[in-house]
Amino acid sequence: MKLNTIEDTLIQYEILDFTNHELVTDTAECLSETFIGYQTKDQIIREPMCYVIDINRNDFDQFVLEYVQNVAEQGYCFIAKDSSNGKVIGAYACEVFDPSVEEIPVFEGSFEPFNRIMELLGDLDSRFLKTLEEKLGRKPLRNEYLHAFMLGVRTEKNRKEIANKLIKMSLEKAELEGLKGCFLEATSFKSQIILTKYFDFYLPIDSENKPILTTYSETNSFSSIPATIGENCQILYRSLNGTERI
């Protein structure tokens, strides 16, 4: 547990205790709220792909809760709590990448809109995995790479500082545990700039000398994402423990 004071707010940073059902639920709510739409005084914070896809809020809540429940035991879900009330105000859900899980889940009924997001992310991940295999000369193994999946901060102040602290915690733990790298899907200009500028992530190039990204304007489902928010969803990667760039 780490305590940091930011503008008179005592913030408690820790790894999510997967046995604490109330805390797991609050973490999932934080992520779900910030992805679907968190209203600050000046703007609505939301994930661009979720914004343009018609996803039922209850369905998204359930999706996020199940994801957090599934991965929290690995020890790579990081949270920031307001110590005055114990409320989760920031969360970063990551998982140890398992290359043996290759099938993209298929959603039905009211969950069907998730398929469009998963198809785009699955294509990017497949290209990244192929590039990684070519670089390594073998298939990557489980417990070698960290996949960062969801980051959300629901507070008016210090959003950037909280997000940066959570990202830093994940990289420090991955380094300590000997992981070779961390990758993620960055969906907006804001996330892409923060990760490349402050955390040394970069955009890998595949074997065809193309950046591993999907341009929103070239898709049917995401072409309406405003160009001021983001032009593409891209894989970003950071090497850990002195391993070579991809």
% of the chain residues with pLDDT over 70: 93
Return the DSSP state at 205.
B
**Residue 192, in any domain of the structure:** yes
CATH number at residue 66: 3.40.630.30
Residue type, 78: F
Q: Is position 245 within any domain?
A: no
Amino acid at 61: D
**117 pLDDT above the threshold of 90:** yes
| Whole-Å CA distances, 91 to 6, 35, 179, 204 | 17, 11, 21, 26
22 within a domain of the structure (yes/no): yes
Q: Is the pLDDT of residue 184 over 60?
A: yes
How many structural domains comprise the chain? 1
pLDDT computed for residue 9 by the predictor: 62
| Residue that wins the pLDDT comparison between 142 and 25 | 25
Range of the domain at 114: 2-239
- Closest to 96 in 3D by CA, of 182, 23, 158: 182
pLDDT digits (tens, 9 = 90+) for 209-234: 999 999 999 999 999 999 999 999 99
Is the pLDDT at 172 greater than 70, yes or no? yes
Is the Cβ–Cβ distance between 110 and 145 less than 8 Å?
A: no
Average pLDDT, the chain: 91
Q: Is residue 21 part of a domain?
A: yes
Q: Is the model's pLDDT at 42 over the cut of 60? A: yes
